[in-house]
Amino acid sequence: MKFRRVRAVTRKEIKHILRDPRSLIMALAEPMLMLVLFGYALTLDVDRIPTVIYDQDHTSQSRELIQKFASSRFFQIVGYANEYKSIESGIDRNKIFLAVVIPPQFGQHIAGDQSAPVQILIDGSDSNTASIALGYVNAVTRTYSLNLRNQGQNVHAGFQTAVPVDSQVRVWYNATLESKNYVVPGLIAVILMMISALLTSLTIAREWEMGTMEQLLSTPLRPAELVLGKMSAYFIVGVLDTIISVVVGIYIFQVPFRGSLLLLAVTSFVFLFGALCWGILLSAITKQQLLAYQLGIVTSFLPSFLLSGFLYAIDNMPVPIQVITHFVPARYFVTILKGIFLRGVGLEVVWVDFTFLIAFSLLVFFAATAKLKQKLA
């Protein structure tokens, strides 16, 4: 392998890139556009739930319970109902998601130290949001019930009693529990995988369609030199995309960055190398630009989005799907990014995932080289 031949192919590809400035601008602007769109639109936060109150008691006790819901940031009281029909109509029209029904004699039961039921109506069409909302409701009612019990004990005992267990919750790594801090690092991996694979998926196929591949075959150029030369030109674009994605994540979305910038750079470069070689491999296999582009989308974006753990927990997937996720390189890069951004971990923690990234990159590089050798034969 001679560096002079690699450099010649790299210069040739850079000229191809510069001759099409619109594609270059799109390649650089697309990561920022996708980050902004997905970062703001794709949120897992469940708060300000549209809530309606149906108070059939109208006592100080019922008003106190209503105040508990009103003071919580997870609920937004949008109105008060006078009958069940209006609640049903609001849920059917997607104007409300939850209704709190306080039955008659609610305050009387509380004053008599009796059990006082409260009815909660939730729109279960979105099961995930409904289960989260139910957890919030249980927390509010549990706190209200505990306060009532303590007040009752204080009245009967005649002195202030202490709470038996005082739990204090401390959230590590994402203290504000904002989903963007969880989504954006994983989204960077998905974007880089897709952009990198698509950038190089057209390179070899374009040579075959334009009839210039025969000219390359007549030169002393070796397959490994051809792969490295074509990959190097787009590697520069990939590095710029990486920098843009990280800067947008840190300074626009305010995602905390607690890890090593050097480790982030090294792991990103290894991941980029593998993703770019994957696009070259697809291009060498198909020899058609349209087919290579379609395969690039199917094999890069979809697995990275669905099977990397970026959004959906891998442990909750069926066992056969969990096995398949081990062949998705974005899975390991997502783990590394979240560890570097949120936890500030080092190589001693993510070395297993980093090893898998290196293995993937080398495997794809040698596979692309072997495929080009078959073309040369």
Q: What are the structural domain ranges in the chain? A: 3-43+178-376, 49-157
Kindly report, residue by residue over 119-132, the tens digit of the pLDDT: 899 988 877 788 88
The predicted pLDDT at position 25 comes to: 83
**Contacts of range 171-176, beta carbons closer than 8 Å, 24 or more positions apart:** 173/342, 173/343, 174/342
The contacts of residue 265 (CB under 8 Å, 6+ apart) are none
**In angstroms, rounded to a whole number, what is the distance separating the alpha carbons of residues 96 and 240?**
45
Identity of the residue numbered 318: P
SS3 of 24, please? helix
8 A C-beta contact, residue 71 and residue 41: no
Q: 230-239 as b/e, with b when 16 or more CB fall inside 10 Å?
A: bbbbbbebbe
The contacts of residue 75 (CB under 8 Å, 6+ apart) are 48, 49, 51, 69, 98, 136, 140
CA angle 39, 44, 49 (to 5 degrees): 120
Residue 328 DSSP one-character state: -
Q: Is 309 left (phi over 0), alpha (psi -120 to 50) or beta?
A: left
Regions in the chain scoring below 70 on pLDDT = 44, 151-169, 214, 217, 374-377
In CATH terms, the superfamily for domain 49-157 is abc type-2 transporter like domain (3.40.1710.10)
**In angstroms, rounded to a whole number, what is the distance separating the alpha carbons of residues 196 and 198?**
5
The predicted pLDDT at position 301 comes to: 86
8 A C-beta contact, residue 100 and residue 120: yes
The predicted pLDDT at position 144 comes to: 82
Structure tokens that stand for 347 in this block: 């190589």
98-102 and 75-80: which strand pairing?
unpaired
The predicted pLDDT at position 351 comes to: 94
Nearest to 39 by CA among 173, 177, 185: 185
Residue 173 DSSP one-character state: S
Give the global pTM.
Answer: 0.78
